Structure 1
Amino acid sequence: MKPPRQPLFVAPDTYRLRRLMDAARMLPALGVGLMVLPMLWAPDPGGTRATSTDGIYLFAIWGGLIAAAALLAPRLVRPPPEPRDLRDEG
Structure 2
Amino acid sequence: MSSPKNASVFLERASYKQRRLTDAARLLPILGMLLWAIPLLWGADEPVQTSNAPALLYVFGVWMALIAVSALIARWLEPGEEPFEAEGKE
* Shared fold, TM over 0.5: yes
Question: C-alpha separation between the residues in 2 aligned to 1:75 and 1:60?
Answer: 23
1:57 aligns with 2:58: yes
Number of aligned positions between the proteins? 78
**AA of the residue aligned to 2:35:** L
TM-score (norm: length of structure 1): 0.72
TM-score (norm: length of structure 2): 0.72
The structure carrying a bigger helix percent of its residues is 1
Q: What is the Cα deviation at residue 79 of structure 1? A: 3.1
Structure 2 equivalent of residue 34 of structure 1:
35
Larger Rg: 1
| Native 8 Å contact 1:27 1:65 kept in 2 | yes
| Percent of aligned pairs sharing the same letter | 36
Q: Which structure 1 residue ranges, 5 or more long, are not aligned?
A: 84-90
Q: Which structure 2 residue ranges, 5 or more long, are not aligned?
A: none
| Native 8 Å contact 1:43 1:49 kept in 2 | no
Q: What is the Cα deviation at residue 49 of structure 1? A: 4.8
RMSD of aligned alpha carbons: 2.5
1:46-85 matched pairs, under 5 angstroms: 47-80=48-81
